A and B are shown apart, each in its own frame.
Chain A
Amino acid sequence: QSALTQPASVSGSPGQSITISCTGTSSDVGGYKYVSWYQHHPGKAPKLMIYDASNRPSGVSDRFSGSKSGNTASLTISGLQAEDEADYFCSSYTRSATLVFGAGTKLTVL
């Protein structure tokens, strides 16, 4: 199972919006609603930010939103803040009954 495709890095200034894409296939992202996004500050526990492609868990800021179209999911962060600087990973359930992650995107807040 190949990793989902994410850009290696994105950046934005405080207050701006950024979008991170996550591209898979019809056997994973395109075939199931079970697409998640995780925020990972190095050395800390990863945190679930989006589940079912577009739902936010309780306690996650509404500045974070998700969407999916075909084989590509997207995470948008609006009103960028310094504390948003982290690595972001997408994941999807797959037809093979496994879980596949993206390679991760490093977000830099300028």
Chain B
Amino acid sequence: EAGVTQSPTHLIKTRGQQATLRCSPISGHTSVYWYQQALGLGLQFLLWYDEGEERNRGNFPPRFSGRQFPNYSSELNVNALELEDSALYLCASSYAYGYTFGSGTRLTVV
């Protein structure tokens, strides 16, 4: 069984640009979670999607947005990139209680 896959692995963007990160959950998992792990700040909850709907959102500005597709894959979009958006973005899908995480996308804003 394939795990949670994220693409791209690395992404370098210029301040002010937009970034799109993608996540494919484990087959059969309908919930997708996005987390940001910035240096020294731990894992911060960003967004939760389930059955195509946004279910909950963390304390992030509206320029962080996303969506979930009918096949349960998900996109995270970050508009008007700022230097402090540089971080590892982790996606997870869940089954019952435990989460399975992807390897992450490392976004660098220069």
Q: Do A and B bind each other?
A: no
Q: Which residues of chain B have a CB within 8 Å of any CB of chain A?
A: none
